Amino acid sequence: MALNKPQTVTPDYGVPYTKFERAADGFTVTYKRLTMFAIVIGLLPLIIIVPVFESEMDVIFSSKGDSLADYIIAFAPLIGLFLLIRALRPKTVIVVDSNSVTVGKKRMSRSDFGGFVVYGSLNVGSTTNSATLYRLGYQFGRRSFPISGLWDERKVKEVVAALNDELRTSNLNSTAA
């Protein structure tokens, strides 16, 4: 019997669910998350387009419409909605260097930057079937501020922990150099 060689496992450092790039004196994190603006804008075409395609929807649910083209025409508004929401998601960029932290277009002194936090929550859905989404945020001075995007609880906690670890680590690396 041949023994299986042990598999080498490499740890995953950085910030999960984001594009993470390490720099000499800090790091850059880029991510796209769904926002309430994208949800509202994405629902408008659905409300407008579905009545227009109502006749095509009737074809699908009647015995007459059984071709692939009928299904494609009927579900085109839903596909369009999906693509619109994906396109409207804004990109958030966080840049940390030895002297500053930049979140979006706001550049802050690193000495006054308190760290990343779970900013707040938003209940989405009805009372019987709801989900809670959370916002990423940061502390600057004595106040907390939100960063755009909605996350589920597990992901936002992982991102906050990883961002704060990277913030501490880059701070140690930049002061040692």
How confident is the model at residue 71, as a pLDDT?
66
Q: Which of 51, 70, 87 is the last residue of a domain?
A: 87
Per-residue pLDDT band for 101 (boundaries 50, 70, 90) equals very high
Do 108 and 81 belong together in one domain? no
Q: Compute the average pLDDT of residues 70-84.
A: 68
Report the Cα–Cα distance between both ends of the chain, in Å, rounded: 52
Question: Please, are residues 140 and 164 in contact by the beta-carbon 8 Å criterion?
Answer: no
Q: Assess whether 135 and 158 both reside in one domain.
A: yes
Q: Is residue 1 part of a domain?
A: no
Q: Are residues 150 and 167 in the same domain?
A: yes
Query: Do 149 and 92 touch, CB atoms closer than 8 A?
Result: yes
Q: For the segment 125-177, what is each residue's pLDDT rounded down to a tens digit?
A: 666 667 888 999 999 999 999 998 888 899 999 999 999 999 988 865 545 44
49: domain range? Answer: 39-87
| Residue 129 three-state SS | coil
Among 44-48, 72-76, 119-123, 139-143, the least confident range: 44-48
Quote the pTM value: 0.65
Alpha carbon of 39 to those of 44, 48, 90, 168, 175: distances in Å?
9, 15, 12, 35, 43
From the list 59, 164, 60, 147, the residue with the least C-alpha distance to 113 is 164
When the pLDDT of each residue in the chain is averaged and rounded to a whole number, the result is 78
Residues 53 and 140 in one domain: no
Q: Which of 26-40, 86-100, 145-159 has the lowest mean pLDDT?
A: 26-40
What is the reported pLDDT for 56? Answer: 55
Looking at the 3D structure of the chain, how many domains does it have? 2
Residues 83 and 105 in one domain: no
Does 7 map to a domain? no
Q: Is the pLDDT of residue 121 over 70?
A: yes
**Does residue 71 sit within a domain?**
yes
134 or 85, higher pLDDT: 134
Determine the pLDDT at residue 130: 72
Q: Is residue 68 part of a domain?
A: yes
Q: Looking at the structure, do residues 150 and 96 belong to the same domain, yes or no?
A: yes
Residue at 158 is within a domain: yes
In a domain, 3, yes or no: no
- 167 and 98 in a single domain? The answer is yes
Of the candidates 84, 78, 93, the residue with the CA atom closest to the CA atom of residue 149: 93
The answer to whether residue 47 is domain-embedded is yes
Q: How many CB atoms lie within 10 A of CB 72?
A: 11
